[in-house]
Chains A and B, each alone.
Chain A
Amino acid sequence: MLQLSAFLAKESSWPWTIANTVDTDLISLLTFAAVTVIVGVVLLLLSELLGPRRRDPQKDSVYECGVPLLDDAREPFTVKFYLVAILFILFDIETVFLLPYAVVYKQLGIVGLIEMGAFLFVLTGGLIYLWTRGALEWD
């Protein structure tokens, strides 16, 4: 463990701090965020501590006016949403490889294009398969 702590403590001799990348303008943003959070928390706490509390069944019911509730609001969503969500995750995250490629596609030349093409070929294969199997049909 000694070595580990020595490893972690090496920051002084190494330029390991990442401070130079963080813009000092962000300080004001952080202050703003902190103030917002603090004010909100303080207000909530105050009303919790100082406010009078008189309970009666009328007040504890969900709505004081309107129609009575039919059901719990936290129903599970239809399965279709999950299927679409799962497919979305998959195809959404694959752009993670397209973004770096877009930055350097000129330097990578024709071989890079072919490799990206192979990647997209497999990806499109999956999409076409889904489509033909009817995974994208809503009904």
Chain B
Amino acid sequence: MELTISGAEILAILPAAILVVTGLVQLFADLGRSAEDKHSEKTHLAMIGVTGFLLAFAALFVQGSGASAGELYAGAMTDDLFGRMGAGVVIMTGLFSTLMAGSYLASRGSNSAEFTALISFGAGSMALLCQATNLISIFVAIETLSLAVYVMAGYFKDERAASEGAFKYFVLGAFSSGFLLLGMAFIYGATGGSVALTDIAASNGQQDTLFSVGTLLVLIGFAFKVGAVPFHSWVPDVYQGAPVVAVGWMAVAVKASSLFCLCRFLLFTGGGNDLAQLLAAISVVTILLGNLAALNQQSLKRMMAYSGIAHTGYLLIPLVVALSGDGSSSAASIPFYMFAYAATTLAAFGVLAAISVGSDRDQVHDLDGLAKNRPLLALGFTVALLSLAGIPLTAGFIGKLLILSNAIQQGFLLLALVGIIGSLISVYYYLRPVVSMWFREPKSSFELVPASWGITFTVALCGFATICFGLFPDWLIDLSKRSVEAILG
């Protein structure tokens, strides 16, 4: 049996391959100099990163021969629109994180190429995760991206909170990977030795209890990665200790790629009504707990952590709807919501990175009077927070509208109601920083150095994108619908 590789297969891994090579180039480009200049911004790394990410993004638009799911690499990968949209979110997030990383790390005096290289490597494995269609490739991709993120979470190794958060993240992450893997083994056993998602969907092992237990365990593994409620306890601790840029990267890219993969997995394996009810319960608790816990946070990073948990809850609603019968197309709101969430969150973390010079500043009162000193940053942060709260004219509003209206149409009134209540609660804590930025006198004791071009650019572009998705959402909604139809076939 001669091994062959087709053009479509090469095209499918092209974005990921470009990203991995970018990471290697970044590592080696920095070799000679990392010792002496820890405080310079190292623009060359950002340039290499930007080039790599743009190339990878361009590679997403190179159409393959239209191979359907399960055709590439003996069923290990696919190259459909859904996977490409996931990879698109990840690549854009990686691009902006790389732009912000240089000056932020330089201001903290720990600027080496490993950070940007880890972003590139992680982005590569996330792109693969979005395209993975069998258990083996899903597991390997999810582990690779987790390993990259563990290291980034503990990047400031002289800080207590960073090391502790990273270690907690690592232990809980590896623990949940164990459950994920056990679930995969059960599914593999119950379906008579099939690892590809299409084979699993076609096999007759679905009625087996072993299969249900396996699906449940896989769900636990994913719930940890996206920070859904019973497995959310690591999120605030890790967010607090990790570098701001890494938090932005984690919050968006890890969540996006895991959700894209979970969505694909659940759409293939089904899972039945019981699983849908379980997911609905998780979603309700996640929304309520995330929003209520965020109310009382003084630290902006912890607030963003709990708000991220709440948004995971909103994102589970379309999965519930899709799982319980004829509403499969409602999963179409997931890609749109992820794009909106990515733009919004990156803008917010850009501002946090801009005010974290020297050490991380993330208290709400650190923002006092920011509008007078840095109106652009304040404007960007305001747009981001309004979008997270779901105020009209922003991307977040359209995303929530899609999710909730779909849920109501399919008869999930209770879920929709919880979602609406959660959004109402969230308005309070999202508006608190806005008030302190615009209506308080600047009293902060630190000198606000001018934000670097990378951060300013990121905040401006992501804020602009948030408004754009809010005003002209049609093309993106259309794209999301087509991508989900591509999976369903």
Q: How far is the CB of A74 from chain B (nearest CB, A)?
A: 23
Are A129 and B27 closer than 8 Å at their CB atoms? yes
Q: How far is the CB of B64 from chain A (nearest CB, A)?
A: 18
Are B2 and A132 closer than 8 Å at their CB atoms? no
Say yes or no: is B62 at the interface (Cβ < 8 Å to chain A).
no
Instruction: Tell me if A's interface is mostly helix, strand, loop or mixed.
Output: helix
Q: How far is the CB of A65 from chain B (nearest CB, A)?
A: 46
Q: How far is the CB of B202 from chain A (nearest CB, A)?
A: 19
B190 touches which of A7, A108, A128 (Cβ 8 Å): A7
Are B20 and A133 closer than 8 Å at their CB atoms? no
Say yes or no: is A100 at the interface (Cβ < 8 Å to chain B).
no
Q: With A4-B210, A132-B31 as given contacts, are A125 and B1 in contact (CB-CB < 8 Å)?
A: no
Count of CB-CB pairs between chains A and B under 8 Å: 40
Contact mask for chain A residues 86-113; partner B; CB cutoff 8 A; 1 contact, 0 none: 0000000000000000000001110110
Are B2 and A133 closer than 8 Å at their CB atoms? no
How far does the alpha carbon of A112 sit from the alpha carbon of B5 in the complex, in Å? 9
Q: With A122-B20, A122-B24, A125-B24 as given contacts, are A4 and B4 in contact (CB-CB < 8 Å)?
A: no
In A69-95, the 8 Å CB interface with B consists of: none
How far does the alpha carbon of A1 sit from the alpha carbon of B34 in the complex, in Å? 59
Are B2 and A109 closer than 8 Å at their CB atoms? yes
Contacts of A107 in B (CB 8 A): 1-3
Are B3 and A108 closer than 8 Å at their CB atoms? yes
Most buried by A among B3, B20, B28, B190: B3
B208 touches which of A3, A122, A125 (Cβ 8 Å): A3
In A30-76, the 8 Å CB interface with B consists of: none
A111 touches which of B4, B27, B31, B213 (Cβ 8 Å): B4
Are A133 and B31 closer than 8 Å at their CB atoms? yes
Are A112 and B3 closer than 8 Å at their CB atoms? yes
Are A3 and B31 closer than 8 Å at their CB atoms? no
Q: With A122-B24, A125-B24, A129-B28 as given contacts, are A1 and B1 in contact (CB-CB < 8 Å)?
A: no
A105: nearest residue on chain B (CB-CB)? B3
In A119-139, the 8 Å CB interface with B consists of: 122, 125, 128-129, 132-133
Q: How far is the CB of A13 from chain B (nearest CB, A)?
A: 14
Instruction: Tell me if B's interface is mostly helix, strand, loop or mixed.
Output: helix
Most buried by B among A7, A115, A132: A7
Are A3 and B2 closer than 8 Å at their CB atoms? no
Contacts of B208 in A (CB 8 A): 3-4, 7
B209 touches which of A3, A111, A112 (Cβ 8 Å): A3
In B207-223, the 8 Å CB interface with A consists of: 207-210, 213
How far does the alpha carbon of A3 sit from the alpha carbon of B210 in the complex, in Å? 8
Contacts of B210 in A (CB 8 A): 3-4, 7
Contacts of A125 in B (CB 8 A): 24, 27-28
Are B24 and A111 closer than 8 Å at their CB atoms? no
A129: nearest residue on chain B (CB-CB)? B27
Contact mask for chain A residues 5-20; partner B; CB cutoff 8 A; 1 contact, 0 none: 0010000000000000
A118: nearest residue on chain B (CB-CB)? B17
Contacts of A129 in B (CB 8 A): 27-28, 31
Q: How far is the CB of B109 from chain A (nearest CB, A)?
A: 18
Are A3 and B3 closer than 8 Å at their CB atoms? no
Q: With A109-B2, A133-B31 as given contacts, are A3 and B207 in contact (CB-CB < 8 Å)?
A: yes
Contacts of A4 in B (CB 8 A): 208-210, 213
Q: How far is the CB of B361 from chain A (nearest CB, A)?
A: 32
Contacts of B4 in A (CB 8 A): 111
Q: How far is the CB of A133 from chain B (nearest CB, A)?
A: 7
Q: How far is the CB of A14 from chain B (nearest CB, A)?
A: 11
Contacts of B28 in A (CB 8 A): 125, 128-129
Contacts of B1 in A (CB 8 A): 107
B3 touches which of A1, A111, A133 (Cβ 8 Å): A111
How far does the alpha carbon of A133 sit from the alpha carbon of B117 in the complex, in Å? 15
How far does the alpha carbon of A112 sit from the alpha carbon of B2 in the complex, in Å? 9
Contact mask for chain B residues 2-42; partner A; CB cutoff 8 A; 1 contact, 0 none: 11110000000000000010001001100100100000000
B27: nearest residue on chain A (CB-CB)? A129
How far does the alpha carbon of A112 sit from the alpha carbon of B3 in the complex, in Å? 6
How far does the alpha carbon of A115 sit from the alpha carbon of B28 in the complex, in Å? 22
Q: How far is the CB of B118 from chain A (nearest CB, A)?
A: 13
Contacts of A112 in B (CB 8 A): 3
Are A1 and B209 closer than 8 Å at their CB atoms? yes
A108 touches which of B2, B31, B34, B207 (Cβ 8 Å): B2
Contacts of A2 in B (CB 8 A): 209
Question: Which residues of B come within 8 Å of A, CB atoms?
Answer: 1-5, 20, 24, 27-28, 31, 34, 190, 207-210, 213
Could you write out 18 A-B pairs with CB less than 8 Å apart?
Answer: A1-B209, A3-B209, A4-B213, A7-B208, A7-B209, A7-B210, A107-B1, A108-B2, A108-B3, A109-B2, A109-B3, A111-B2, A112-B3, A115-B5, A125-B28, A128-B28, A129-B27, A133-B34
* Further 14 A-B residue pairs, CB within 8 A, beyond A107-B1, A107-B3, A111-B3: A1-B209, A3-B207, A3-B209, A7-B209, A108-B2, A108-B3, A109-B3, A111-B4, A122-B20, A125-B28, A129-B28, A129-B31, A132-B31, A133-B31
> Considering the complex of A and B, which 9 residue pairs feature the smallest CB-CB distances, nearest first?
A3-B209, A4-B209, A108-B3, A111-B3, A109-B2, A112-B3, A111-B5, A125-B24, A132-B31
